[in-house]
Structure 1
Amino acid sequence: MGGPSQALPSQCPIDDQTIFTLASCTKLPTTVAALQLVDKKLIALDEDVSPLLPVLGRQQILVGWQADGSPILRKRRNPITLRQLLTHSSGCGYDFYHPDLKRFRRYQGTTLATQKAKVAEWFNQPLVFEPGQGWEYGAGLDWVGKLIEQISGMSLEDYMSRHVWTPLGASSYTFWPNSPGCHRELATLAKRDRATGKLDVSLKGLDLNRNVKECFGGHGAYCSAADYAELMFSLLVNDERVLRPSSVELMFENQLSPESKEALQEVMRTRDLAGGDYYAGEVYSWGLGGLLVEETHDSEAPYDRGPKTLAWCSALNHYWFIDRSKGVCGLLMTHVVPSPDAKIKPLIRAFLQHTYRENARPSFPGFL
């Protein structure tokens, strides 16, 4: 599906081959790549990653502030595991979300613009809780990208091209859309003025990943909607093109400790973090790759979302979901900032209502 863009010339309409900045939609493919290494027994989900990621391994926990404004840090007691990095339960936050990490950056005297070239530079910051005992959306998948590089001996770009996208027959996914081999048009970003509700479509050339010098597995990739949907469909039908069936099953199961799951529930109740469509009566946890809508029998949603639906979003108001109980998945890409957008949220709801009404199958064979 596609149509004319408000930002691109009329001769370059948006379609399923247009290249989009994925932002946090990068996290799902990176998760799949990491699970391939687990399938090959090159690392375990509950293995301590500190020996492979020494900068991360050195991080202490930020527990408060001295009267003079200096941070109070203490050594962590728990290991940092791959499972925790994949599920935002490691204590790694984002300095543009978490107020204490924003304050820590100011204390350091650094800015985002000067630090974002490499993962170990940008996210050389303390943890915000003991690993496995909280939930905070953050940089875990960026560290997972570095872990994949360490284990495979390949760049994340090359690893994913060879082991994730080639088996799917997909070729648009890249971390370097301006490299000589990339010829397709990159969709332009639009910015919503929240005061007027109008879109500024004059942002051609704006790139959320400008100045980066390596692959960021949590937010740095670009891809067409058609290729991204191919990965989603492979996971939906569990066709073994990229993962063993048992690993796909694991993606759709709760991966959080009780403490981390309760922390996530609190985030979903109190913070407007997640673009998407969520309702009272639903129980949330985190699978491998996205938010897990774990229970839906008391949901107030105006469509029949099934249990164990995996879904997530991005800072550009993209939204994807995979509902294996109903045999349906969907992807909506918008390229609008900031997120969440008050006008796109109803669009996501309408998209879900239409998709479930026209495509869901109550008894999808072979699942759940």
Structure 2
Amino acid sequence: MNRYQIALLILISCTLSETNAQSKAKILTEAAPEAAGFSPARLARLDANMQDWVQQKWVNGTVVLIARHGKIVFYKARGYNDPDTKAPLDKTGIFRVASQTKALTTVAVMMLWEEGKFSLDDPVSRFIPTFANQNVLATFNLKDTTYTTVPAKRAVTIRDLLTHTSGLGYPGIGTPSEMAIYAKSHMTGGVGVEVNGQTLAEAMTRLGSLPLFFQPGQQWKYGLNMDVLGYLIEKWSGLSLEDYFRKRICEPLGMKDTYFNVPPEKAHRLVNFFLGDSTGRIQKQNSVFGGALKMNYPLQKHGYFSGGGGLSTTLYDYAIFLQMLLNGGQYNGVRLLARNTVRLMTMNQIGDLSPNVGDHAADNKFGFGFLVISENGSRFTPSQAGTYSWGGVFSTSYWVDPKEDMLVLIYRQMWGPYVATTDKVFKPLVYQAIND
């Protein structure tokens, strides 16, 4: 091989390395569907369905964002923010995303893990002493809420919290024993409610003294794990969870509309919340859960920051966050996580256990903060194995399909019998539009 051939090989290698680096650090830009392998005609099917959902009075409105290869090929709102006045739903509106907060909490935890603040297998009691010597519920008497316990076989770890295998329950949506025991101790889901002015530190410290609902590591159960991690983020970083998200995640990434406390100047962008019924009646709601949760909570200044459910944000902001993960932990020149950390977060972390959520739950897995579609589970969906996802109780959801290099978000602010109907047809409408 002569020197000219060697020089040519070096040039080609450098070019390929630069191309690979650029491909792994995509910045979201709006583009024609064809530029990302989508058919405009087939995307029009999705658009028509979104409009039909409104006409059928299944939902008041829907906003969808689809990005592939870093190119936004669909970003539209259909429907109304107020069906009575016909005020349109704005695609830049601020939505209550509830449990979508958990993904930011997970990223924050893993950022601090990369800084050496803790080990994944550290016991939580190392940082919150009340989690030492825990007990597990054995029997429960619903009539008088008395119970018996047995000692936990091992300590709850940080890994248990990240995978929802700790034994913690969830106030308001758990079993009768969970709800009764937590209610007696004034535990909340952490969203829009501050009981007697309690702080996150007080609540999570008190939680450690309450019984677990199964032996650590032996089941998967949705619980207050991310709220505990939110408090640990505050302890590890010296910042409030609100400040950590803002200073370490949102501002570096350019997420300009993500808040625990939506500022007054953006209050008009908070999307209305609705309840629908089977007759097609859709009504705006100022509160839910029998009035216990006021839906203007993002506008009410508060200092209890739920790592499990407190954020409000826009589709575009959250798409930036997801693109950062899809890029392997970096976005627009800012690296939050190493790519192997993202790999850990988005792979099976629960072994032979099954997450008891969603359709075909037994066939999928859970990572750190995300539901992960397994090879076996992929037979039920057009999403490929390795797709990770989650959502929020107010009818927002997202998924990231790494093999398709694609992220998808669908946001509503509504409860009703037909929301699930739209969910079931939405995913096929997205995937059928891929045309490459």
Kept after mapping to 1: 8 A contact 2:171/2:179: yes
SS of equivalent to 2:373 = strand
1:255 match: 349
Shift in Å, 1:26: 0.7
Partner residue in 2 for 1:364:
none
175 and 297 in structure 1: CA distance in 2 versus 1, 3 angstrom threshold = closer
For residues 11-67 of structure 1, the C-alpha deviation after alignment (integer angstroms, 9 at most, x for no partner) is 864333211111111111111111111111212222112121234446532121369
Asked if 2 retains the 8 angstrom alpha-carbon contact of 1:308 and 1:323, the reply is yes
CA 1:151–1:360 in structure 2 vs 1: closer, same or farther (change >3 Å)? farther
- Choose between structure 1 and 2: higher helix proportion: 2
Between the aligned partners of 2:104 and 2:297, the Cα distance in structure 1 is 19
Query: Counterpart in 1 of 2:386?
Result: 308
CA contact (8 A) 1:87 1:287 kept: yes
Query: Which digits, 9 at most, give the CA deviation of each residue in 1:228-252, with x for residues without a partner?
Result: 1111112123252321111111122
Give the Å deviation of 1:333: 0.8
Is 2:360–2:377's contact at 8 Å kept on the other side of the alignment? no
The code of the aligned residue for 2:159 comes to R
Q: Which amino acid aligns with 1:357?
A: Q
Q: Does 1:294 align with 2:374?
A: yes
| Partner SS for 1:322 | strand
CA drift at 1:213? 3.5
Instruction: Tell me which amino acid in the other structure corresponds to 1:38.
Output: W
1:71·1:104 contact (CA, 8 Å) conserved in 2? Answer: no
1:3 Cα offset (Å): 3.5
Distance 2:310 2:304 in 1: 9
SS of 1:61's equivalent? strand
Structure (1 or 2) with the greater strand fraction? 2
| Contact map agreement 1:116 1:211 (CA 8 A) in 2 | no
TM-score by length of 1: 0.82
- Is the 2:145–2:180 contact (alpha carbons within 8 Å) kept by the matching residues of 1? no
d(CA) in 2 for partners of 1:328, 1:206: 32
Rate the CA distance shift 1:70–1:228 in 2: closer, same or farther, 3 A: same
In structure 2, the CA distance between the partners of 1:105 and 1:48, relative to structure 1 (3 Å rule), is: closer
Q: 1:23 to 1:299 in 2, by over 3 A?
A: same
Question: In the aligned structure 2, how far is the partner of 1:188 from the partner of 1:76?
Answer: 44
* Aligned residues between the structures: 339
- Whose Rg is larger? 2
Instruction: State the alpha-carbon separation in 1 of the partners of residues 227 and 386 from structure 2.
Output: 25
Aligned equivalents of 1:284 and 1:54: distance in 2?
Answer: 34
Which residue is 1:89 aligned to?
165
Aligned: 1:185 with 2:272: no
Amino acid at match of 2:259: T
Q: Work out which of the residue numbers 181, 193, 204 in structure 2 matches 1:104.
A: 181
Say if 2:145 and 2:181, in contact at 8 Å, map to a contact too.
no
- Matches of 1:217 and 1:255, distance apart in 2: 20
**1:279 and 1:83 mapped to 2: Cα distance?**
24
How far off its partner does 1:117 sit?
4.7
2:399 to 302, 321, 337: 321
Deviates more, 1:153-162 or 1:47-56: 47-56
Q: CA RMSD in A?
A: 2.9
Q: Give the match for residue 315 of structure 2.
A: 225
Q: Does structure 1 retain, via aligned residues, the 8 Å contact 2:363–2:377? A: no
- 1:115 Cα deviation after fit: 6.8
| Structure 2: tracts of 5 or more residues without a match | 1-75, 288-293
TM-score by length of 2: 0.70
Alignment of 1:109-128 (within 5 A): 114=195, 117-119=198-200, 120-121=202-203, 124=207, 125-128=210-213
| Deviation for aligned residue 1:320 | 0.8
The aligned amino acid for 2:271 is: A
1:135 alignment counterpart: 220
Aligned equivalent of 1:243: 337
Letter in 2 for 1:305: S
Question: Higher mean Cα deviation, 97-106 or 307-316?
Answer: 97-106
- Report the CA distance shift for 1:104/1:326 in structure 2 as closer, same or farther (over 3 A): same
Alpha-carbon shift at residue 5 of structure 1 (Å): 2.2
Per-residue CA shift, 1:299-319, capped at 9, x if unaligned? Answer: 233xx2100111112211111
3-state DSSP of counterpart to 2:432? helix
